[in-house]
Structure formats: C-alpha cells, structure tokens
Structure 1
C-alpha cells in the first residue's frame, strides 16, 4: 500500500472528485448537494489561490483520496491567536467505499501528514475538523494532534488542533513502549542464549536467568529447537527484581548482564543508545504499521520493503541509526514510507573517479554552468549533505572542487539497508547507494571511494560467471550488478594517509533495478519478508504457504531450490561465497511461491575462497585464504544459522511445518545437488557440508565487543568470534 500525492488536475479528475465530495459518507466535506459546476468552481478558486492547494492522492497508482493544504493566515482561521509562523493547514478526504480495507485510512492520513512535513519550513500542521466528527478527531489524536479548543467558523463548530514536529514522538507512550520492550527483551534472551553468552537453567517447565548480582531473575517458557535456537514465548517472560515484579526493559537487561556481555566500559553507553534507537523505531512501527499479512500477499516490492518491522533477525540492537534526529527518522527511515529527493554534488574530475557507464543526466552540470568534461556527479543523501558535507568539506566547496547542485528531479524510496534508494519516479532506473555517516548495527555506514572504484568490474565478473553456469541458469539465479561507482578523494582526509570514517563520506554506487526480472503473474519481495510478522503476530511465510497451491513441504522445496541450491553450487563449483542474508536476496514469487532468487550487494560482500583459481587483476581483492572448515560456514552460518534457523522456528511454532520435516527438506535439497553433480565430488568431500558439527560463529558477540566497528571489512574471517560448535541439522 503506497500512497502518493500529485497536484489535482480538474480537467482529468473533476467527475471523480464530484462523486467523492457529494457521497453520503462525505457529509463533513459540506458539498452534498453540489453540482458538477459547483465543484469545478470551488476547486478553480483553490487552483488560482497561491495560499491554497488541492492534491489528488493515489494508492498503488489508483486515485484514492483528496487532500488540501493551505496557509491558515490566509484562510477563515486568519486572526486566531493560536496561529504561528510556519503553520500549514491540512484537509483529507478518503474516497468513499462500501468495502473498506483495514489500515487504509491511516496509511493515507500518514502519507498526507508526511507530505505536509516534507517542507522544512513547516513547523506545525493545523486541522479544524467538525466538532461532531469524533472519528476523524480520534484519528487526529492518534497521529499526535493536540486539540486546543472549539472555534466557531462560518460553516461549522470546529475543533482547532495542531501537531508540531516534536509531536512526531506521539508513538512514545507507555503501552506502546511496553510492547516494544517485551519483544526486544525476548529477542535478547533468545539470541544471547543461542550464542551462549547467557545460560538459562531449567526451572520445572520454565527456564530461569539470574543476573550476576543475584538480585534480578527472568523466568520464561521456551522450546529449544535445532541449531540451539531458543523459541521464547514473549507472553511468558517475567522479570523479578529483589523478589518484586518489574517491567521489562532492554537497557536494564544489558546493564544487569553487562559483566557477562563483555561490552567495553567506554562503549557501553553507545550500545545503550543503539538499543534506545531500536526501541524508538519499534514503537513507531507498532503505532503506525497497519499493513496485515493479507495486505502483503498482494503488495508490490517497495510496499513490502517499507513494511518490514524487525530489522536483522539475529542482532538485538538492529535499528540504531545514531545520528538521525526525530525529523530525520520521519524523512528517511524506510518504514515511514517517505519519498526522498537525493542531492547531487559535482566533483572535480581530477580529484574523483567514476567507474562504469555514466548513470546520471549531465544536464544537471550544464544547467549549473559547469562543463561535464570537468566534473563527475555524485549522489548524496540529504542528511549527509546537511549534517556532514556542507560543514566537514566546506573548504572543498569553497574551492569549487565540490559544487552543491541541490535536489535531483526523481523521487526515491529508502530500502531496509537505509542508505540504498529505489527510484520511485522511474522504477526501472538503477538503485542508488550513498554514503551515510550514521552509526547503525555496529558500523558507520560510509562508502570508501577507493574501495568502490573496482566494484563495477567485480560485479561484471560475478555476473558473467553466473550467466555462464548451466546449473545457476536452471535455478533462475541471477545477480543485480553494481554497474557504476563514483567517489571523491580530493579532501584533506585523503591527503592524510590514515584510515578513518572521514575517507568514506563522499561516494556512490548504482545498482541494477530488479523490476525487469519478473514475468507475467510474478512479483518481487525481499527475502527478509519471510521472517516478518504483522502487528497481530501473523507470519507472512505461513500466510504465503496457506495461499499457495502447495502443501508446506512442497512450498519449502521450491524456496530451497531457488535459494539454497545456488548457494551450494557457487561454493562447490566456484569457491564463491556470497553474504546471502534476508535483505541481500530479492525473491521472485509466483502464486505465493518463491521460484527464483536474485542476489545483490556484490562488491563488498563476496569472497572467492581459493588460492588456486585464476582471477583478473581487478578482481583479486575478493580472494580470501581461509581454512577449509571456515569455508563451509558460508552455508552453515550465513544460510542455516542466519536465515533458515529463524524461518524453521516460525513455521514450527505456528504449527505449519515440523522442524524435523523442515531440515529434512534442506538436507534433501543439498543431497540432490550433489547427486546431480558427481563431477564436484572432490569439492563436496572437501567442504564436507554434512559434517556432524560446525563452528558456532556469533553476531551479537561481535557487536558487543566493538559497537563502533564490529568487524574489519578487509579481513572479515579473522574478525569472527566463535562459541563452540553447533550440531549440523543435515548430519
């Protein structure tokens, strides 16, 4: 469900608007008896008024609502003492229907409100609903409007209400926070027990955790599943402090167990800040995420992308985004559904590089009076320009080595990875990945210009390998190439030959769009969606299975053939490892069944784990020399523990598919591949994917050890932390 707004075109939409405003359900719009000419006259007046604007709203491209924005100081509210500079008035009318869709009105209302606040000059939004319209007044309050008083207008008694930008925190209420805390504490218990940082002890039919100080306990019910997964029932988690019941609190939980977690004292506040930001995000989603799994069964790729509520399934602090303010969160977080217009910098060619085919319109340079022969264009996140580049690179701007060209013409939509954008104006155009100097999930999210220079070449090499392989072609497996990169290195930080985050602030990538990869009856979805539960707790994967023509085991078999089989083949045939977590895969779905997989984020996250395979010189950097046992973790850790463990638990606990059947299907998938490829028998023996146990590589331990940079990107294998072994569910 993706609402958009555009200026109302009366020539095209007058009959539709007339039908809406005169419908009996639109009684509070006060145009019940209006003729077509009356409606045209009213909206022509708005069209000619510089202080009043009318907007047609669409949902997924279909006209669905009407909105008006106006300057209260030039309206019938003029002269009210409550009005302030920066106020903007708002009216919303959702198209009347006899078949209302759950959450539709809230999604529309939120989109119009976001549209109003997208202008930084707007400080408050003002509404004046009819005082008798209790339904819309309740909706206003839900979205943070404060009712000031009843006022008398020429046509009604109205409730004057305002919402400031700070009222964007209206989702931070005790009830919403309690739900977010329960979810996050449950996840912390489950994942830290899985990583053997904490060791719950059996207590009858429950489990017990006691803090090192001995004065606080956590009691809960849980089922222990394969791969030492703790399926903790959130409703059963009880905290007791000094023998008294206490509220669940994720930050308190970390402090209470800090002696066991091993966070360095200097970094513990940073980790607590990321937890607070994760809770803030969770509260927003709980308060505003209205899409059900039934909605998502019919949703397009970008709607699903914005509807995800969990973030990474393993990391506890997974939505930190430290550096964003409240306004930034509303403007740039993918879950808010806001459109973003990227900024553009012109970077002097002698101080920058561009690899791959040009992906931008050079008229932006010409319009600014610059010669395209002298400058490259660099896409820039709006936050990055305002908060970093305009200040930290002020000398470069003053010299003309960097020229700020302002916003680009296209609307973009942030993805779950926060710094990557899909083109909402032209979906077939490449995705754009930008540098973003915020702290999120153990990293500063920058991009290195030097590192990015070889990225298009590496991507092209992987693409050619994939399309030339008959097995991968038969699986329908493909990659989204990062086809071009750009970066600026003319700053003082690059003249200082020391690594630092400042050398990763001005760079960009263009990645192919997956839009052209679908056929009739197919749609795209992020693989992370298979682990999604909606606000009522329903699983999207379970709903897809129920809506598909297959039983659960057959559905799973199709998914594994699309996902696991290509990963195994790349390992055995090419010693090629991806980072195949949920957000790095786009699934092609037909009849609610995953039938193909598309891999992305190639440049930074692939490895050729062989010292003997020949590689082009430009691709050599992806070669890693690791022991044979570590190579197999590309399947055991990254796929089994990082993705399938969570999906197996969801389907098992929801009664959709027993976990033994789940892992039996995984085993059969890998065995079928080996039986189909006897020529790879030596590689299969070396990888030994069916070994009894494998090393237990732990993600949260990495983040707890160093919340600022949890691994060394240049040598990720040496950064790993292990906690013994896990029993292989295929053994």
Structure 2
C-alpha cells in the first residue's frame, strides 16, 4: 500500500472546475469543523474520494475500503501524524493530515525547526450536477486548514510538498501565501517544498491576495535573508584577505579580538588563527563602526570599496568585482531562504530514495561556492528566471537544446573503442534519435552530413541564436529541439547530471556567463584531444595496484564535440567567441559505485548548515570512529592518491573540493572519484606521450610539483577542514596535522618505483593566493596555457607537517 504521506495531496483542480459553475453559497472557514478521523466510520468516505480521477496525485485510488481503513488507523495511532475530517453542518467535505516533518516524510530532506507542521489536504470530488457545485469551496477549505494548523494546533509554520506537476494545488497554495523553497525528491514524486508562517498568512489574508508579478519573484531578497548573507561574506572576506596578507588586522584589547581600520570604518571581530596563516573569523562577533564609534550595517561591498586600493583591484574592474559580490550575496540570501537539509541529514544520507537522488540532494544543498574565494557566485549574465532554473542551489532540472552541426565544420572525438554510433546510442534514447533524424529529413537535409551537439538552454537563447545567426540561416547549424533527459545543474554550473537516466554521462557545455574570474566557455580545439587524454590518464590510474587498493578512480571524459564553422574561427586572433559551441560527456559515477555505498562531493566536508553544524563532524559521529581514525581514512582516499600520482606517474590533478567525489559507507570514506581530467590534469615530467595528448605536458621541478599538495590540498582544503573540526571540538589542531603527517609517512615507507620523491616535509612552502588572482583581473584570473606562471605569491607558509 502506498503511504498517504508519500503521495501528493490535493484535488484543487477538480474544485476549480466546480467553482466555474452555477453560483451557490460559499462556506466561511469558521463554519467548518475539524474532528479526528475515525478509521472505521470514515474509511468508506475517504476511499470513495480517493478513487475519483481528481485525486490521482494521491496515488491511492487502487486501495480497497479495508486498506484505507488500515491506513487511517496507522495515521491515527502514530504520535507524529494525525488525520482530520472537515465537515460543514455534519457533512464531510475534505480530509486533512498533519504531521511532524522532523519525523515523517521530510526527516531526511528538510531541517525542520520547532513549530513546523506538515499538512496534506484532500477535498471531496465535485457533484456531478453543476448547479450543486459551490464556488470558492476549495479556497474556503484551504483557509480553514491553514487556520486550524496555525491557531488550533499552534504551528509556527506550515510545510507542504506538492508534486511539481500539480499546477492546481500550486495556485491554491500561493493564494494563501505559501512560498516555494526548493524542489526535492520524495518517494514517487518530485515535490515543491513550500512553507507558510503565521505572520505571512495574516498579511496575505489582510491584503486579500498573494503579491503578483515581480513582487512575488524575489522572496529571498528580504532583510532577514540578506543580513546573514552579509555577515557570512564579510567574515569570509576578512578571513581570506588576511590569509593572503592583503590586510593586517590589529589586536583589539582582549585575546582573539581584532580590528581593521580602513580609515572610513572600523571592523571589529573575534577570530582564532591556525596553521597555514588561517583566520577563523567568528561571524556573530562582527561589528562595524564609524569614526565616532556608532554602529553601522555590515556590507561586504562597502568593505571592498574601502579596501580596494589595498586589495589591488584595478579601477576599471572594481565595478565588475562589486557586481560579482552582489550576485554572491543574492545567491547566499536565496540559499538561506530555501533552507536545506541539516548536516546530520546530509551525513546520514537518504534511505527513502535512490543513490542518485541522495547524491544530487547534497549537490544542491551546498552553500559555499569555494572555501577560499570571496566572490564565488558571480554568474554575470543570468537573470532572475535563469537563476531559478539553472543555479545548482535551486535543485531544478532542465533539458539541453540539441543542434545538428554540419560534419565538415565539426569534430566529435570519442574514447578508444567507442565510436560515434555507440556514443549517441548510449547518451540519447531511441525516440530522441529518431526525432532528430526526422527533423533533418523534413528539412530536406541528409542526416549523415551532421553531428549532434548539446547546448545549454541559456547558451542557446543568449549566444547561439544571436551570435551564430549566419550559421543557423545557412543550415550549418540546425535546431533539433530538446533532448529527452532532464539534467540537474552541478556546483560546476555548466555541467548537468542526468536525473532521467543517472547511469548516462554528465554533460558539460559552454556557458558564456562571467563567473569566478572566467567566461565559462569550452574550446573546440581543446576538446579535440580530451577523450585521448582521459584514456591515457585512466590507463595510468586503473593499472596501478596501489590506487585500486585505496579505491581511487577517475571519471573519464569519453567524448567531446566542437563546432568551428563560424567567422570567429576564421579570424586569426583567439577570442572568447571561439569557445561558445562545444561540449563533452563525462562518465557517471553510478555504474562504478559498489552496492551499499553512497556519493558525496568533497566540498560537502567544508559545508555548514543553517544552524552552523558541519557535515564533517556529523560524518565522524555517524561513522562511530574516533575523529583521527576517520580523518586518516579520508586522507588515504584523497591525499595519498594525489601524492602517489605525482611521484609515481608524474601526473598532476586539480584536487579541489568540486573535483573530488567521495565514496562513503556508513559515514566512512572508502574511496574517491577524480573528475575534470581533460582541462586540468597535467604530466609534469618528460615521460613519453603520444603526440595527440602532448598538450597536457607541463614540465616543472620538484618544488613546484610539491606545490600541488601545498596549494590545492593543504591550503585549499585541509586548512579549512582543520578549522572546522577544531572549532567544533572534534579534534585538536596538533592531532589533525599529526594525522596528516602519519598518513603521508605510510606512503613514504612504501617500496615504489617513483619517478620523483617530493619533499612534503619542507619547513615551508610558497603561498599561492587565489583571491589576489581574481582581484587583479576578475575577467580572466589566469592564462590557462601558463597557469603556474600566472600565480601570485605572498611570501611563504610554514608547513604544518614539516620535518
């Protein structure tokens, strides 16, 4: 039997039809009574309502009266749920359920707080006789249910989760003031998690309707959501600018109290300092004062304006950086508004949905774009609707627009043994492939003359349909329509994960928005060798017994495509316009995941929920291991493979949080997948390479090779994780870095044929700075052809595992 609380509860569509008929008296909410459901007396009535087509979203129309009676008894006997029959003068009109979302249905997906109450509503089907139908009935019942929850049951906030396809209930919910927070996966449906608090319900009732148009599109841009976003981002700016020695706060009297005087404002705060010159700023302690000591609002843009000379931002780029900060604030306010799973929920994972849905819940829940960068969610080019559709935190899905690209101007590269036909058969269902062929044939074009290329919907709307107008007009490019798969945006915003068929590849496409110092294009020239590069890297990794033993694997980018039949490629100078039409396909981790394991992005280990709890601490608790033992397992799956690849294979990855996917079992890290191989892997020595992949060779000396560990792992990930675990009282700093040292020693003792032996015990290392890069040139942080030469250094950092 399908539990009622996992189905979508509403028959508003039928009621709306009834309201369009002949007039009849509309009940007042106060005329409706609520009595606890009586399973024996009410089962037949509720069962009859459930069989009506309008109740299809309940998914219970197949149940017998006895089965409904058993279900209602289950609800009545459960202390976390209750059923109610709603009557007018003794006549039953509707059935409602209330439940504790911390214990029922949403307990793995929603961080419920005291006073939250879940609600479901089933309205009786309309009479067959139009004259007997009553306009406004469903609306009156809905208002009565809201009043019952808020007033009689003393709820502070009502939570509902209707199916995203139930437009009728969405309209009814909006009419009484419910706000959609985000889309979530629940058993049997994709749901629009929505909330209504008492204050908002009263306001909507008083004004007669929910605000329409633009006023309803920015519920996140309110003081209660922006204030914590400002506080967090100011704290992060002070911490990271101090870490990079751009600013130097002074002691402010008491221990661990600091002040930064910009000449315009004084910024006072509490902070602890850790290894690697890490500043852990306590956001709640932040105070900004004017010259007379009067308190001023916290404002990260104002902080940058006051510091911009010290930060080295060119005058002509200051506005761009401030715009990226504004966008980052808007994103953070949205994340605060939509809420998210608690750290404990993310650590435990979902048991009510499949592994893919569990994995993607975490992906959408992340609130920190990058642990070190301050302006992390620029996304200049996205509008409000596009933010809601394509930002990973919105948790929604989209379909790629597919183009047919004339073969003579297009190159599709595939992994060895794959081939064009097998590739498209694996990534597109048969109906879609047939539709694409039919489209070309109907236009009088020969399908064999074209290759198929996926395009992000934003890119099609804003770039392809405009910037490639000549190519579309002469049929060098042909619009085929949407693909069949729904894709969910990843933290790497231009990459989509197939929710329709999770075993299919990620699809990464060009997305020409400005974000974190780059226009997010993809170069067709660079894509040409991507599958061959990935084949070679995968052969090194999969052929290595040590890497197999620690559960380290790579996700190959096994196909890539790029179009070059445009004026931008005929022009000699390189330009961003040459990177607007390309895509690649990367293996999904799902087919490679052993039974009983789940997936979690490495970035999640640095995530804190709205209450300030950390996922890392929750995972340690869930694992049952001592903190140092849990950390050691993480390092064997993450740190040691990166070191091993550098020393044994002279192979460097970009091992930051978004590029690693951890494999977990009962809270313990048992392995890892590395991704983003084609653009970011490099061979750092003179070992033999096929000419086709020679572009990945970037020969560096041992000291610079070791910087991969110092910069990307120690400084980029572990210093943040150390501060979290120490700050949470889970592990002291000495034990943290002592565990790192001990795990490194395990690898140092191994009898391996090393091409290099890196000195990771050096007393100090060069301090490479990320924010300095973005501040210097927010439009292009580094020259991708010489990333190492583009780095900005700020002295040296003492090595916490130095010998």
Q: TM-score range by the shorter chain?
A: 0.7 to 0.9
> Equivalent residues in 2 for 1:478-627 (5 A)?
478-610=553-685, 612-627=686-701
Would the alpha carbon gap of residues 265 and 548 (structure 1) be closer, same or farther in structure 2, given more than 3 Å must change? same
Match of 1:461 in 2: 536
Counterpart of 1:292 (choices 342, 345, 350) is 342
Report the Cα distance in structure 2 between the residues aligned to 1:671 and 1:543, rounded to whole angstroms. 27
Q: Give the CA deviation at 1:169.
A: 1.0
TM-score, structure 1 normalization: 0.83
Residues 1:379 and 2:454 are matched in the alignment: yes
2:145 & 2:361 partners in 1: Cα distance?
22
Q: Does the aligned pair in 1 maintain the 2:523–2:580 contact within 8 Å?
A: yes
Distance in 1 (alpha carbons) for counterparts of 2:709 and 2:507: 29
The corresponding residue for 2:711 is: 637
- Separation of aligned partners in 2, 1:473 and 1:103: 52
**Using the alignment, how far apart are the partners of 1:689 and 1:142 within structure 2?**
58
Determine if the alignment matches structure 1 residue 431 to structure 2 residue 483.
no
Bigger mean CA offset, 455-464 vs 382-391:
382-391
- C-alpha distance in structure 1 between counterparts of 2:476 and 2:249, whole Å: 58
Alignment partner, residue 237 of structure 1: 286
State the alpha-carbon separation in 1 of the partners of residues 529 and 752 from structure 2.
35
| CA distance in structure 2 between the aligned counterparts of 1:195 and 1:26, rounded to whole angstroms | 63
- 8 A contact 1:530–1:647 mirrored in 2: yes
Query: Shift of residue 216 of structure 1?
Result: 1.4
Query: Aligned match of 1:352 in 389, 410, 419?
Result: 410
In structure 1, distance between residues paired with 2:607 and 2:661 = 15
State how far apart, in whole Å, the 1-side matches of 2:391 and 2:177 are: 34
The aligned counterpart of 2:227 is 178
Deviates more, 1:712-721 or 1:516-525: 516-525
Q: Counterparts of 1:251 and 1:540 in 2: how far apart (Å)?
A: 29
Which of 270, 277, 280 is equivalent to 2:327? 277
Q: In structure 2, how many angstroms separate the alpha carbons of the residues matched to 1:130 and 1:181?
A: 31
Displacement of 1:7 in angstroms is 10
Q: Which runs of 5+ in 1 are unaligned?
A: 11-21, 48-57, 69-73, 80-88, 118-123, 152-158
Give the match's secondary structure for 1:635: helix
TM-superposition CA deviations, 1:474-515 (whole Å, max 9, x none): 111100000101111111111112111111111111000001
Report the alpha carbon displacement of residue 103 of structure 1 after superposing the two structures with TM.
13
User: How far is 1:8 from its partner?
Assistant: 11
Distance verdict in 2 for CA 1:463–1:166, change over 3 Å: farther
Tell me what 1:112 maps to.
164
Is 1:707 the counterpart of 2:778 in the alignment? Answer: yes
Alignment partner, residue 716 of structure 1: 787
CA shift for structure 1 position 160: 4.0
- Residues 476/426 of structure 1: CA separation in 2 closer, same or farther (3 Å cut): same
Correspondence for 1:328: 386
Contact kept in structure 1, 2:156 and 2:198, CA below 8 Å: no
Q: Give the superposition deviation at 1:676.
A: 1.0
Q: CA deviation at 1:560?
A: 0.5
Q: Is 1:692 the counterpart of 2:763 in the alignment? A: yes
- The answer to whether the Cα contact below 8 Å between 1:171 and 1:283 also exists between their aligned partners in 2 is yes
SS at match of 1:237: strand
- Taking a change above 3 Å as real, the CA distance of residues 125 and 497 of structure 1, as seen in their structure-2 partners, is farther
| 2:263 aligned with 1:252 | no
SS in 2 for 1:112: coil
Q: Decide whether the 8 Å contact of 2:488 with 2:499 is kept in 1.
A: yes
> Which of 219, 223, 234 is the aligned partner of 2:268?
219
Residue 713 of structure 2 corresponds to residue 660 of structure 1: no
The 1:46–1:614 alpha-carbon spacing in structure 2 relative to 1, beyond 3 Å, is: closer
Output aligned runs, 1:72-221, within 5 Å: 106=159, 108=161, 112=164, 127=173, 139-140=195-196, 160-164=209-213, 166-204=215-253, 205-212=255-262, 214-221=263-270
Alignment root-mean-square deviation, CA: 3.7
Q: In the alignment, is the contact (CA less than 8 A) between 1:67 and 1:90 conserved in 2?
A: no
> Per the alignment, do residues 202 and 249 of structure 1 end up closer, same or farther by CA in structure 2, a change over 3 Å counting?
same
Compared CA separation, residues 77 and 222, structure 1 to 2 (3 A): farther
Describe the shift of the 1:269–1:125 C-alpha distance in structure 2 as closer, same or farther (beyond 3 A): farther
Taking a change above 3 Å as real, the CA distance of residues 324 and 141 of structure 1, as seen in their structure-2 partners, is: farther
User: For the Cα contact (< 8 Å) 1:368–1:405, is it kept in 2?
Assistant: yes
TM-score normalised per structure 2? 0.76
SS in 2 for 1:390: helix
Q: Secondary structure at the match of 1:508?
A: strand
Structure 2 Cα separation of the partners of residues 26 and 650 of structure 1 = 48
Q: Distance in 1 between matches of 2:122 and 2:572?
A: 54
Cα 1:26/1:283, change in 2 over 3 Å? farther
Equivalent of residue 646 in structure 1, options 704, 720, 723: 720
**In structure 2, distance between residues paired with 1:646 and 1:77:** 61
Deviation of residue 145 (structure 1)?
9.1
**Inter-partner Cα distance in structure 2 for 1:144 and 1:491:** 53
Q: Is the 8 A contact 1:106 1:290 kept in 2?
A: no
**Distance between the aligned counterparts of 1:67 and 1:716, measured in 2?**
60
Task: Using the TM superposition, give the Cα deviation of residue 533 of structure 1 relative to its aligned residue in structure 2, in angstroms.
Answer: 0.5
* 1:62-90 deviation per Cα after TM superposition (whole angstroms, max 9, x unaligned): xx97899xxxxx999999xxxxxxxxx99
Q: Secondary structure at the match of 1:710?
A: coil
How do residues 431-450 of structure 1 correspond to structure 2 at under 5 angstroms?
431-450=506-525
Aligned mates of 2:45, 2:360 — CA distance in 1: 39
Change (3 A) 1:46 1:256: closer
Distance 1:341 1:386 in 2: 13
Post-superposition offset of 1:203: 2.2
Q: How much has 1:392 moved relative to structure 2?
A: 1.2
User: What is the alpha-carbon distance in structure 2 between the residues aligned to residue 429 and residue 90 of structure 1?
Assistant: 45
**Whole-Å Cα distance in 2 between the matches of residues 319 and 313 of structure 1?**
12
* Structure 2 alignment gaps of length 5 or more: 1-5, 12-32, 59-104, 110-118, 124-129, 137-141, 179-191, 351-357
Partner of 1:40: 51
Distance in 2 between the 1:314 and 1:428 partners? 32
Q: Please say which of residues 553-562 and 351-360 is displaced more in the overlay.
A: 351-360
CA distance in structure 2 between the partners assigned to 1:503 and 1:142 by the alignment: 53
Return closer, same or farther for 1:24/1:458 CA change in 2, 3 Å cut-off.
Answer: farther
Partners of 2:620 and 2:366 in 1: how far apart?
19
Alignment CA distance shift 1:393-1:310 (3 Å): same
- Whether the 8 Å CA contact 2:651–2:683 is kept in 1: the answer is yes
Kept after mapping to 2: 8 A contact 1:261/1:704: yes
Deviation at 1:131, TM superposition (A): 11
C-alpha distance in 2 between matches for 1:103 and 1:517: 45
State the partner residue of 1:267.
317
Does structure 1 retain, via aligned residues, the 8 Å contact 2:344–2:619? no
Moved over 4 A (4+): 5-10, 22-27, 44-47, 58-61, 64-68, 74-79, 89-93, 102-107, 124-132, 140-151
Q: Note if contact 2:413-2:529 (Cα within 8 Å) is conserved in structure 1.
A: yes
Structure 1 contact 421–433 (Cα < 8 Å) conserved: yes
Checking the alignment, whether the CA contact within 8 Å between 1:412 and 1:421 is kept in structure 2 is yes
Q: Aligned equivalents of 2:743 and 2:175: distance in 1?
A: 59
Contact 1:333/1:418 (8 A) holds in 2: yes
1:315 to 373, 377, 399: 373
For the residues of structure 1 that align with 2:227 and 2:387, how far apart are their CA atoms? 21
How far apart are 1:470 and its partner, in Å? 1.2
Q: 1:521 to 1:712 in 2, by over 3 A?
A: same
Deviation at 1:420, TM superposition (A): 0.4
